[in-house]
């Protein structure tokens, strides 16, 4: 990434082969995780309370592939293992990447590297959020951005415990993805979408909202939750988080990263669990589109245009 700006600032280039240091391994990358927040950071804005990185740099926080080199103090038995791993926050959009040996997670034999990478961040996050929200059988659950990588997994997890799930998406083309998963679906691009939700619930309030959009959509979804309900911010695709103070003032419990931390949930362990659940057939990553590594700019453009369904990956 040469500078902050539109997707064109993502330019393919050459770099020296990485070398593993102490506690590190080199992975020959097969698939790269692309997350929406990377598009926001690339544009020079971030919903996170952290400083922006200084360009030029190589983005990419999650990869999958085969370990081809190990550091001087790392078990050589790791060589040739198929793994997924988080990077240090950047360096993933590459043919080869250095990661901490302690961060690698073996890929089950029945899963492809692409399937495993699709669960690296979203699978762990979905499991953490679902556990914090404690969705119960027969509860009404509304999932925003339900056709996305994270949203699609949250729909599956809520259905798995017997909840009644409505997926909200931004466009008619995405409705079938939610319905194919077994949930009901509404299009929040329509002005009366919350009335449609009320019709589907028969006038009953929503018990849990997973808010992946924020802004006006998040605020409208918040109005569907009554005292005693739970509201879980999972992202801010709109660029702004929903006002939590207003929800708390009327007796709605807001659950977020702080509650994940308080529960002591380990995202590395949760990612491992997500792979195990997928290998057992209980969790299914939905990969909607892939792009060659050198077309990372096109992947970002598609995500920003809201043209993607499910998970977006770069393939090497």
Residue 165 tokens read as 């799930």
Interval 151-185: pLDDT, tens? 999 999 999 999 999 999 998 989 999 999 999 99
The answer to whether residues 133 and 210 touch, using CB atoms and an 8 Å cutoff, is yes
> What letter does residue 136 receive in the DSSP assignment?
-
The domains found in the chain, sorted by start residue, are: 7-106+286-315 (3.90.180.10), 123-262 (3.40.50.720)
> 175 in the Ramachandran plot: left (φ > 0), alpha (ψ -120 to 50) or beta?
alpha
The answer to whether residues 91 and 60 touch, using CB atoms and an 8 Å cutoff, is yes
Q: What is the pLDDT of residue 259?
A: 72
Q: What is the pTM of this model?
A: 0.88
What pairing do the DSSP bridges indicate for beta strands 206-211 and 225-233? parallel
Angle, alpha carbons 268-107-113 (nearest 5°): 110
Interval 262-292: pLDDT, tens? 676 788 999 999 999 999 999 999 899 999 9
Interval 61-108: pLDDT, tens? 999 999 999 999 999 999 999 999 999 889 999 999 999 999 999 999
């Amino acid at each position: 990434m040469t500078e902050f700006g539109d997707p064109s600032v993502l330019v393919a280039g050459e770099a020296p082969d990485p070398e593993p240091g102490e506690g590190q391994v080199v992975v020959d990358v097969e698939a790269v995780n692309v997350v929406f927040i990377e598009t926001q950071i690339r544009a020079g804005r971030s919903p996170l309370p952290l400083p922006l990185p200084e360009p030029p740099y190589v983005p990419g926080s999650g990869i999958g592939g085969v370990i081809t080199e190990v550091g001087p103090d790392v078990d050589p038995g790791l060589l040739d293992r198929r793994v997924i791993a988080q990077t240090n926050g950047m360096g993933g959009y590459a043919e080869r990447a250095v990661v901490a040996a302690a961060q690698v997670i073996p890929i089950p034999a029945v899963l492809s590297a692409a399937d495993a990478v699709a669960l690296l961040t979203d699978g762990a996050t979905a499991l953490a959020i679902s556990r914090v929200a404690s969705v119960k059988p027969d509860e009404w659950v509304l999932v925003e951005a339900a056709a996305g990588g994270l949203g699609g997994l949250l729909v599956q997890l809520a259905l798995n415990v017997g909840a009644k799930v409505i997926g909200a998406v931004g466009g008619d083309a995405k409705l079938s993805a939610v319905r194919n998963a077994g949930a009901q679906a509404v299009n929040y691009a329509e002005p009366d979408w919350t009335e449609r939700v009320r019709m589907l619930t028969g006038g009953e309030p929503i018990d849990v909202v997973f808010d992946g959009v924020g802004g006006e959509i998040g605020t409208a979804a918040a109005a569907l939750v009554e005292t005693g309900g739970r509201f879980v911010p999972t992202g801010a695709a709109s660029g702004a988080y929903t006002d939590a103070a207003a929800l708390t003032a009327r007796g709605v419990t807001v659950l977020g990263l702080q509650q994940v931390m308080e529960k002591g949930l380990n995202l590395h362990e949760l990612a491992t669990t997500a792979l195990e659940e997928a290998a057992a057939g209980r969790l299914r990553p939905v990969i909607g589109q892939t792009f060659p590594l050198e077309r990372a700019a096109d992947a970002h453009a598609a995500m920003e245009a809201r043209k993607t369904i499910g998970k977006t990956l770069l393939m090497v």
